[in-house]
Structure 1
């Protein structure tokens, strides 16, 4: 690939963002609606009683940090960036299908092998936002953490995109940092335990590696 000018990368990202923007916006919205409908159905119709995930020593090393909620919900912006920066229809479809495959894989695991996080001695009424999240995920869907899998998967795709457009190294490291903060937040707000995070990271990394190998090379960057 021909080296790209450092000054050109913002224009290249903007060009990608505006390409098929209406399809990307509608597609992302439709995907999330369908995903959550399936997620809640699986949550309420598991094939067996959820298994309680064990805590490890490392789970206590990460202090309970309610402020981590903001980092946690930032995932929904972060995971939308790869599709927003797809350069053409073919790349958008391929990336979308692989994202759907990863989510479907995790949902199947949640249905067949449901898990839940340990019951903790925390007064959730003191943290309304976290209490709502706990009520939504009360039945489980803990391992592998789909939150973590999605973040790792997005980070790998973003790394490829930033290389393609010639973005500076600090932007790639900023993306890695954001991914790491999201992973930390899942433990900091007690949404997941360490084993959930490890399993989720493995799922995200495998699907990212597989999908990036199959991804078409863009005609332009």
Structure 2
């Protein structure tokens, strides 16, 4: 099985790239985000690879980051989500955005992805919520984008969100539910939100 490929960028298409490794060209399917991060033609590229072996084909899927590869595999554990749909999701949303979307149960965001209808979006959020809460993504990684995109004080907001999640868990709420509640609170309150404000808003979310 191929786990990683490093070589010269030969050519690219809508959802694929050809990597020349020692004179052998490998066709690798990629998300739009990975394709946009590639160097110019002839440049050296290194991708993490997931190999799919079927009766009628062998497909290689490439990822710029390990986290993206992990999401690719995780998304496909949901019924109705195959490799093509998983790549479409990853083309629209990065790892941190996806963590935030799943934790908050935001089905509407997922239906913006081509090939994802309301039923599939519902299954993705329902089936992956607990798994996302257990993933080692740092203290409330899903809140990172909300906070850091607003101002340089984003790291402080991340810390506050992490403390708020811990507080809600200590009060007896499930970790996945606490993640979702604090994510919604962080978006609503903005980068200046304190731990106390996030806990209060989070409790209101959980009681709704």
Scaled by the length of structure 1, the TM-score of the pair is: 0.24
Which of these two proteins has the greater Rg computed from alpha carbons? 2
**Greater relative CO, 1 or 2 (CA 8 Å, sep 6+):** 1
As a proportion of its length, which structure holds more strand?
A: 2
**Which structure shows the bigger proportion of residues in helix conformation?**
1
